Amino acid sequence: MERQNKYKCEECGHICEPVDILEAKHPFIDDEKVMGCPECREIDSLQKMCEVDGCNKVASCGTPASGGYLICCGEHSEKYGRRNK
């Protein structure tokens, strides 16, 4: 399974990689950062996407999988999750 590391903007639907995300110091809290969409400039609108390559769903859960912890959508959690029993 190939993995991707992408974020999707709730506001405009733009999909980007971590390097494209705008980052700024939080105006009120020291040592905190806010993340912004490079497309529409909305703040904190970015959602982590399912890490399974090619999947365009927003990640809703995570599961231990082969190759390490996988952050993914419900569907892929079913598919790749290792059931510990």
Closest CA to 70 of 9, 5, 10, 25: 5
Interaction between residue 59 and Zn ion (CB under 5 A): no
Nearer to Zn ion, 13 or 33 (CB): 13
Total residues binding Zn ion (CB under 5 A): 15
Q: Dihedral sign for Cα 41, 44, 45, 51, please.
A: positive
| 3-class secondary structure, 18 | helix
**Sole binder of Zn ion in the list 6, 7, 8, 9 (CB under 5 A):** 9
Q: Which residues bind Zn ion (CB under 5 A)?
A: 9, 11-12, 14, 37, 39-40, 42, 50, 52, 55, 57, 72-73, 76
